[in-house]
């Protein structure tokens, strides 16, 4: 039943992946302006305008910086805000709780004839409250634009995993090295660069379609001591034998290629600013940090390293620190240039 729910989610993608745009947004609290301003030359889009937990969302805008800068005072304040490096898109619940955020980065789109285009990609957290929400475009001066957003209900699997004493110790024993490794990987996942390496749909990192654990499953770890702990599975597990080729799901830059205590032999690839693919529990690593890899490049062999109960590949997608459903990136382009341009130009 759970698999059918996920397949249905993909099947209705055409209905879900629509965007909302605004050609004449009302600007509020920008540079503490006394009055709101309407700016004809700034266009915004949220694609899609509704999504399931775990799915990605693109927020984009385009503007003519020269016309904005020479326009009315509030418009100049908007132009200044849109240039800020700390400009961000923020998903906010109906109660006003900030759920996730993503930094904007520049896109090179010759089709826009000199218009500046920026985008941010975020993922709806798997633990998000269901229902009405909002996506705000913010600077330190305040909210530049706000869009209504809907988070759909989604059912996730639940599983209990029995851990032996060795794996129990890995999770429960204090270890400064493990703490340092955790801090390092979180710093990577929350870093937003400037390079766009791939626009395309991702491909599966292994040829096998056998899955042993889905994205978002609610897990109970049953320790050898009798205690237990709960967590959420942040990726997909493919049940493949040791030594299976593991391929890069898209073009990108290798930012992590090293052994870690919990995840074993690990590779992380950056594909967009703030967007990373993750490959854990490898037997061997065939790339180095800093390598530029093409889609399909073998990055290593699957294994049984780190905290595991059997051989498998853990494949994960991180978007601005949040885990995202890898299946969503297999079904549509990670950054759909044509769709972005269509929504920005339509103003509908």
How is residue 96 written in tokens? Answer: 């006003």
- What is the Cα–Cα distance from 282 to 311, expressed in whole angstroms? 9
Dihedrals φ, ψ of 328, to 5°? -65, -30
**What is the CB neighbour count within 10 angstroms for residue 304?**
15
Shared-domain flag, residues 97 and 176: no
Shared-domain flag, residues 199 and 176: yes
**What is the CB neighbour count within 10 angstroms for residue 22?**
18
**Closest C-alpha to 57, from 289, 309, 228, 274:** 274
Examine the fold and report which residue of 133, 154, 175 is the final residue of a domain before the chain moves on.
Answer: 154
Mean pLDDT, residues 312-331: 97
Expressed as residue numbers, the domain containing 105 is: 2-154
Examine the fold and report which residue of 123, 154, 185 is the final residue of a domain before the chain moves on.
Answer: 154
Sign of CA dihedral 267, 219, 214, 122: negative
pLDDT reading at 221 higher than 60:
yes
Q: Could you tell me the pLDDT band of residue 86, with boundaries at 50, 70 and 90?
A: confident
- What is the Cα–Cα distance from 75 to 71, expressed in whole angstroms? 6
Shared-domain flag, residues 18 and 92: yes
Q: What is the mean pLDDT of the chain?
A: 84
Counting Cβ atoms within 10 Å, is residue 86 exposed (0-12), middle (13-18) or buried (19+)? Answer: exposed
Domain-located, residue 191: yes
pLDDT digits (tens, 9 = 90+) for 224-235: 999 999 999 999
pLDDT digits (tens, 9 = 90+) for 92-136: 999 999 999 999 998 877 665 667 789 999 999 999 999 999 999
E strand residue ranges, 64-169? 88-93, 98-103, 105-107, 116-123, 131-139, 142-151, 158-162
Shared-domain flag, residues 205 and 251: yes
CB-based contact 201:181 (threshold 8 Å): no
Stated as kind and residue range, the H or E segment containing 316 is strand 313-319
- The pLDDT assigned to 145 comes to 87
**Tally of domains in the chain:** 2
Query: Is pLDDT larger for residue 84 or for residue 323?
Result: 323
Mean pLDDT, residues 71-84: 53
Shared-domain flag, residues 100 and 175: no
- The pLDDT assigned to 341 comes to 85
Shared-domain flag, residues 269 and 298: yes
- What is the Cα–Cα distance from 317 to 54, expressed in whole angstroms? 10
Percent of the chain at pLDDT > 70 equals: 80
Domain-located, residue 347: no
């Amino acid at each position: 039943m759970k698999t059918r729910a996920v397949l249905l989610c993909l099947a209705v993608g055409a209905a879900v992946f629509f965007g909302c745009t605004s050609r004449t947004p009302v600007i509020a609290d920008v540079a503490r302006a006394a009055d709101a301003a309407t700016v004809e030359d700034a266009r915004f889009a949220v694609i899609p305008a509704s999504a399931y937990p775990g799915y990605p969302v693109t927020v984009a805008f385009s503007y003519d910086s020269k016309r904005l800068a020479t326009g009315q005072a509030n418009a100049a304040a908007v132009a200044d805000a849109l240039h800020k490096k700390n400009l961000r898109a923020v998903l906010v619940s109906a109660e006003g709780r900030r759920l996730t955020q993503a930094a904007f980065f520049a896109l090179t789109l010759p089709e826009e004839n000199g218009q500046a285009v920026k985008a941010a990609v975020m993922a709806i957290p798997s633990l998000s409250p269901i229902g009405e929400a909002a996506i705000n475009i913010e600077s330190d001066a305040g909210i530049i634009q706000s869009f209504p957003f809907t988070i759909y209900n989604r059912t996730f699997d639940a599983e209990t995993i029995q851990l032996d004493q060795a794996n129990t110790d890995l999770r429960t024993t204090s270890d400064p090295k493990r703490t340092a490794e955790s801090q390092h990987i979180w710093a990577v996942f929350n870093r937003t660069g400037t390079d766009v390496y791939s626009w395309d749909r991702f491909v599966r990192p292994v040829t096998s379609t056998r899955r042993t654990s889905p994205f978002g499953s609610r897990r109970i770890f049953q320790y050898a001591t009798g205690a237990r702990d709960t967590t959420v599975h942040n990726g997909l597990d493919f049940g493949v034998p040791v030594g299976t080729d593991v391929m890069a799901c898209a073009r990108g830059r290798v930012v992590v290629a090293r052994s870690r205590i919990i995840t074993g032999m690990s590779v992380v690839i950056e594909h967009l600013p703030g967007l990373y693919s993750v490959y854990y529990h490898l037997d061997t690593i065939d790339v180095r940090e800093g390598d530029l890899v093409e889609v399909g490049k073998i990055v290593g062999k699957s294994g049984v390293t780190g905290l595991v109960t059997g051989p498998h590949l853990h494949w994960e997608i991180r978007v601005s620190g949040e885990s995202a459903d890898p299946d969503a990136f297999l079904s549509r382009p990670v950054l759909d240039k044509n769709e972005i341009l269509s929504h920005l130009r339509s103003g509908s």
